[in-house]
Amino acid sequence: MPIDTIYRDSQCEWVDVEAPTAEDLKFLHERYEINNLLLEDTMDPNHLPKYEEDGNIKFYLLRESTELERKNLNTISDISTKIGIFLVDNTIITIHRMKTRSITETKKQVSSMQADIPPSKIALAIALLIMKSFDDESISLMETMDNIENEIFLKNTNHTNQIRRLYKLKRKSGLNSRVLTISTDAVDKFKLLNLQDSEIVDLKDKHKDVVADFDHLNIQITNLISMFLALSDQKANQVMKVLAIYSVYFLPITFIAGVYGMNFDNMPELHHKYGYFITLGIMALVVICTFIYARRKQW
């Protein structure tokens, strides 16, 4: 997508670049004298959030939560996409490799405003929407966790599938928490812009809220995994208990059957008229006595 001038007035010019090419970066370097190293940071899909200042250029690199469902959750690029924000005098330049909701919604806000907008206000609006994307993600993950919890405790579901879902949920939550923790310094650096204290406080409060939400979510998921494993162990113990009880019943009568299964001629009961029935009766009596004993012991 070519370099696009989104907004221009007497105080501000907003230039947006989506999926920049090498030629686009070269133009930005020559036109606005932006350091090539800073421009290269916007091309790294796994670059962490940060703030840098080079002369009169202020550079914010933030990451926005994405709604794309990834099979592998190994890096922060699997759950977020980066947005580079350059502030050069009265110009704001945004660089991103894919369409993002924060940029789209900020464009709508800017187009609906009548008064002139300084670049710092646009940067703040983008940052607030980026934090809002993580807020929405935390709500979505919390709802997913509640559904898994209901299925674990209220329904008889596939345990293998549930543990995989919990593992995936924990990976997503952990990666989001890591991105937000690293973003703390970049969020604090918005105080360097010409903004009102109340506006900066709003951004910091939103950042603190989502950090706290993901910290709480991580704890809840960890507890749920522990409870799930404990429940699985309990069910396994119940199965082993039933098998053990049955073995207690059948062990003595199996012994009796084994004795009478031996091929010896001088077995007194072998030719007895009622030997077969007497032996079955003894077996039944042993089972009944074992049952009564187990009930009294509350096994």
pLDDT digits (tens, 9 = 90+) for 157-183: 666 678 888 888 899 999 999 999 999
- In this predicted structure, which of 107-111, 136-140, 193-197, 292-296 has the lowest mean pLDDT? 292-296
Which of the two residues, 47 and 73, has the higher pLDDT score? 47
Give the pLDDT band (50/70/90) at residue 30.
Answer: very high
The domain locations on the chain are 4-234, 235-296
Tokens of 34: 């932006």
pLDDT at 69: 60
User: Alpha-carbon torsion 134, 135, 138, 143, what sign?
Assistant: negative
In words, the CATH class of domain 235-296 is: mainly alpha
Structure tokens at 49: 């959030």
Mean pLDDT of the chain, nearest integer: 86
State the pTM of this model.
0.78
CB 91 within 8 A of CB 12: yes
Cβ 88 vs Cβ 56: under 8 Å: yes
User: How high is the pLDDT of residue 247?
Assistant: 82
**59 and 53 in contact (C-beta within 8 Å)?**
yes
- Using the predicted structure, report yes or no on whether residue 94 has a pLDDT greater than 70: yes
CATH of domain 4-234: 3.30.460.20
C-alpha 169/C-alpha 137 separation (Å) is 11
One-character DSSP codes across 176-216:
HHHHHHHTHHHHHGGGGSS--HHHHHHHHHHHHHHHHHHHH
